[in-house]
Structure 1
């Protein structure tokens, strides 16, 4: 069964084509830095057991344009994977916010699309681009089943004392105001890989997902019990363009004394803050370059970024009453060895002792980077949200 998975982030599109139930994709790719100078496409296919990679530099202004180029790569040229659109049986879409409407993989119809649109305001950087990619895929793969897999689903196991806010109950019952959590597909996948590696189903794991969006989740016995993102994907850790946690009094102050509108505040906190607001770029690679050039603002951005993560690790150690493993995953978590070291520094009181040599020599597979005598295992686990989405699609359609 050919299942194409589309995972659209706030500034990227990752995609893979699977012949399910096989886990190895026949094609994979990345559209990176969408809407940012230096955007590019990396497209890889595996014909006859070999590997062919095409890299293409082109300014890609939005997700719709990026996905159209991806679809052309799948169906045209010498290394085309499909002969016709009908070869794709299903397209699995990562959708960030499902509210309380969706707790698992769901076939997309007009009603589901309307629910996704209603949640635009709760995930302004993601749900609109997820929706756009659904529309493009519907037009291109008209015979395929379109399936939504929601980031919020994994966090439905969070207990009430963790998902409720300290405001009157009416707001929860009437407006659904509660913690939903995000990056659930990633946290689910990497924690399951870690549990297998640890060889213990009864486990206490902290999963740290660091990309353009960032979140951290406390996972007990394979179930999410608390997570840093809340009602929307703005809270918690510092991110590429999002502020993370901020005192609500700041919002009131800007509205009252500086005349900020709700739209201006949303733009500020969702699109102009985080690494971009403090350090000058939303891309960690750019921040590292600026630090090497002596830029003090970029240096502060890194310090803030690591500090927030350390605070949450301490908090979730308390929630879990101990830790068996800390997982680093996603773009920054898997590729920025200096950030992993900064986060783990001075956490020996929790039993976390990083092996700097192992950390430096990590090579794109599940790897323990803690010292042999570390009470808490520190793992780098490459996330594979695409396979997790494909697997959920496959199970739904069967």
Structure 2
């Protein structure tokens, strides 16, 4: 019986995978191949309570996928895989929903690589390797950007010469679409109303972070833009800055534009502000012990998030709920409390006891009596990919 979907999330030197039953949401197998192409390349997998480790010794993505096949065979899951779902970061304007992959779709994903040069080429490696390893199975691409293709022009256009959009596709695309779509649907269930009658702001907070305004199940605005660098302060990304800073930093450090963009992506955000770490847990502990850099980094993070949430409310006719998700959003009661304290003007207030309970996988409402609704929802991007794949593959 082919009742599982193999979900693949391929990075430049990693391959994350899971075998999921899309109807129950249960992942029979999860794993990660990392440091691919290096002497330390390895694969680890978890099957129930059993853990497996494989040394790949310089192997790349092909070796990793072959190792995934071996693990599936050893666990008896190979014959239960009915389709393969792939996370793809950028679908440009071409892809407004998930699609079955053929050679033409592969070529379109490749064409979008200019918009996501750090992500799409790696995603495409995973697609090509998996199609070779599973030639008889249907493959589906699920795009991070697709959910935000419903944004109106006034939300996605930059105030730059229109020819740059018309000729080069330079516009705001948004990311984390799989997470925003998943948690919006979950939030609607918690509210006890149809998703098609909900006005939500969803905040996906992790090392990468973004927020979105979701009206009746459709994204109408989001904080990320052409790339994932725009918007909120993140673990190592700066978020919004004055564009002139690229030139100023380049001149000050004698660096190229590419080097400055790398600094803004990998050495900024919480890490850059604190001079300590990009991990929110580490920074909270350090701030409690008096580390000034950690304290100011968290204050900037929470302030900017509150400011963007307030701004996103302009995209909605009303606001039925604010939803926190992602590693920080699901587990940092402190961050949630700090953000809500800055949103009193919008009618938000926190129930400290409920907020403290909603950590470690516990979801639910955290608002005080008389407040607008605030929910913590656990995201599951892999399950959404599995569901889309199952629906499109017809297995």
TM-score with structure 1 setting the length: 0.85
Tell me the residue number matched to 1:366: 363
What is the alpha-carbon distance in structure 2 between the residues aligned to residue 70 and residue 373 of structure 1?
54
User: Where does structure 2 lack aligned partners over 5 or more consecutive residues?
Assistant: none
Q: In the alignment, what sits opposite 1:140?
A: 133
| C-alpha separation in 1, matches of 2:237 and 2:263 | 8
Q: How far off is 1:117 after superposition?
A: 3.3
Partner residue of 2:219?
224
2:113 is the alignment partner of 1:112: no
Number of the residue aligned with 2:335: 339
Q: Alpha-carbon deviation of 1:208? A: 0.1
CA contact (8 A) 1:40 1:55 kept: no
Question: When the two structures are aligned, how many residues end up with a matched partner?
Answer: 384
Query: Alpha-carbon deviation of 1:98?
Result: 0.5
Q: Deviations over 1:205-226 (max 9, x none)?
A: 1000012211100111221111
1:27 is matched with which residue? 28
CA distance in 1, matches of 2:133, 2:329: 34
SS in 1 for 2:244: helix
The offset of 1:40, in angstroms, is 10
How much does 1:300 deviate? 1.9
User: Is contact 1:182-1:233 (8 Å) kept?
Assistant: yes
Q: Does the Cα contact within 8 Å between 2:139 and 2:389 map onto a contact in 1?
A: no
Matched residue SS, 2:258 = helix
Query: Relative to structure 2, which stretch is displaced further, 281-290 or 144-153?
Result: 281-290
**Equivalent residue for 1:48?**
none
Q: What displacement does 1:71 show? A: 1.5
3-state secondary structure, aligned to 1:149: strand
Please tell me whether the aligned partners of residues 7 and 13 of structure 1 are also in contact (alpha carbons under 8 angstroms).
yes
Q: Choose 317-326 or 98-107, whichever is displaced more.
A: 317-326
Q: Aligned in 2, Cα 1:10/1:136: closer, same or farther, shift over 3 Å?
A: closer
Shift of 1:329: 0.7
User: Is it true that 1:185 corresponds to 2:182 in the alignment?
Assistant: no
- CA–CA separation in structure 1 for the residues paired with 2:76 and 2:383: 18
Give the CA deviation at 1:64: 4.1
SS of the residue 2:30 aligns to:
strand
Corresponding residue to 2:376 among 366, 377, 380: 380
Q: 1:313 to 1:73 in 2, by over 3 A?
A: farther
Match of 1:204 in 2: 199
User: Are the counterparts in 1 of residues 148 and 220 from structure 2 also a CA contact under 8 Å?
Assistant: yes
After superposition, where does 1:1-398 map in structure 2 within 5 Å? 1=2, 2-8=4-10, 15-20=17-22, 22-29=23-30, 31=32, 43-45=45-47, 51-54=48-51, 64=61, 68=65, 71=68, 74-75=71-72, 77=74, 80-82=75-77, 84=78, 87-201=80-194, 202-256=197-251, 258-279=253-274, 280-362=276-358, 364-374=361-371, 376-398=372-394
Tell me the distance in 2 between the aligned counterparts of 1:380 and 1:41. 32
Cα deviation for residue 187 of structure 1 reads: 0.6
Per mean C-alpha deviation after superposition, the further-off stretch among 142-151 and 152-161 is 142-151
Q: TM-score, normalised by structure 2?
A: 0.86
Separation (CA, whole Å) in 2 of partners of 1:289 and 1:115: 45
Q: What's the CA shift string for 1:230-284, capped at 9, x where partnerless?
A: 1111100111221111110111223455442132122112222222222333333
1:312 is displaced (CA, Å) by 0.6
Asked if 2 retains the 8 angstrom alpha-carbon contact of 1:63 and 1:129, the reply is no
Task: Sort the Cα spacing of 1:15 and 1:330 in 2 relative to 1 into closer, same or farther, 3 A.
Answer: farther
Deviations 1:88-135 (A, max 9, x none): 321101111101121121222344334333333433443233233324
Residue 357 of structure 1 and its aligned partner are, at CA, apart by 0.8
How far apart are 1:57 and its partner, in Å? 11
For structure 1, the residue ranges without an aligned partner over 5 or more in a row are 46-50
